[in-house]
Amino acid sequence: MRAKPLSKNGVIGLCSPSHVPLYEAAPGQEIPWSREYKNMIAGMEAEGFSVVQAKNMYKDTWGFLASDEERGADFNQLAADKRIEYILFGGGEGAPEVLPYLDFGLFKANPKRICSYSDGTSILNAIWANTGLETYYGQNPAVFTGWTDYNKRHFEGHILSDNMTAHEKNSEWITCTGGAGEGVLVGGYTMNFALLLGTEYFPVDNTEPHILFLEDHEKFGGPDHVSALLGYIEQSDFMRSVKGLIFGNFCDRPCPELCARLKVLGERHHIPTVYCDDFGHGENHAILPIGRRARLDADRGELCYL
């Protein structure tokens, strides 16, 4: 199931399951730029969109986040609001806590495009797995503070339309193991995807083929950290359904250790694996549609949507 595209002057719903944002920092108050929402909302409105902010979005009930129930209620509020065509939220920590409070029936009855990245992996994959509704990985509200041409094309091709029938690249694709495979796209930030495996919130059919995309960043841990998470995924029942793997931006320079680890994984499971800088925590924020059937050709460096 695919929701209709966001209209040119449509309504965007914002919530924050993984961090406590501020609308505007007080004079002299220093907060990460990605958590001050005034400029993000202004950017959306400057492009003609209207914005609905969820009721509990700015709460810090737990001191570091709104409660899990409050954050879940925010999603359900946005899902039920028939004006909203696009739900957009950022990363941080805490998204897995929200899953028990999501009303998946609301998302199925009121389909809309939903996008996030990083910690949002947990919610995006769970919504797709429990409803069949495609979700979108790769962008957060901060993209509206300063588009690159590449990021804007992905927004236009996946959120404002369905025009992107094949993945548009903006980096060299490194083939770690060759070959090609087809399956349904799933994935996201490595730790969150690993935490989701085996839970009731990711009821996937492991006999159906999947193309897995993952990303991580050196600021969160080195290649050894990524390797441990890859090992966990490899040991899961889900791994037998994986027919190809794409890994996104890890650092701003070549990382031969990570590419070597991806080669080991590819050779061990007889699947194509590639590394690229198109999506993740770098400058490029390509969008990948979770739930879309796709074909990965590692030899040609192509990902085509079927």
| In the predicted structure, residue 286 carries a pLDDT above the cut 90 | yes
| In the predicted structure, residue 33 carries a pLDDT above the cut 90 | no
List residues bridging with 51 in a β-sheet.
Answer: 12
User: How many residues are recorded in the chain?
Assistant: 306
Whether residues 179 and 293 share a domain: the answer is yes
Q: Who contacts 138 (Cβ-Cβ below 8 Å, separation ≥6)?
A: 115, 117, 154, 279, 285, 286, 287, 288
What is the domain count for the chain?
A: 2
Q: Which of 107, 126, 158 is at the close of a domain?
A: 158
Whether residues 18 and 72 share a domain: the answer is yes
Whether residues 22 and 100 share a domain: the answer is yes
List, in sequence order, every beta strand (DSSP E) within 162-254. 174-177, 180-189, 210-215, 242-249
Whether residues 238 and 112 share a domain: the answer is no
pLDDT of residue 241: 98
Q: How confident is the model at residue 212 (pLDDT cuts 50, 70, 90)?
A: very high
Whether residues 37 and 154 share a domain: the answer is yes
Whether residues 154 and 182 share a domain: the answer is no
Is 166 among the domain residues? no
Whether residues 233 and 198 share a domain: the answer is yes
Whether residues 115 and 74 share a domain: the answer is yes
* Domain that includes residue 206, residue range: 174-305
Rg (C-alpha) for the chain, rounded Å, is: 18
Angle at 79 between CA 154 and CA 152, to 5 degrees: 10
**pTM over the 0.85 mark:** yes
Task: Provide the sign of the torsion angle of the four alpha carbons 73, 52, 279, 19, taken in this order.
Answer: negative
Is 16 among the domain residues? yes
pLDDT of residue 31: 65
Whether residues 146 and 185 share a domain: the answer is no
| In the predicted structure, residue 24 carries a pLDDT above the cut 90 | no
Phi, psi torsion values for 221, nearest 5 degrees:
165, 155
CATH number at residue 301: 3.50.30.60
Is 112 among the domain residues? yes
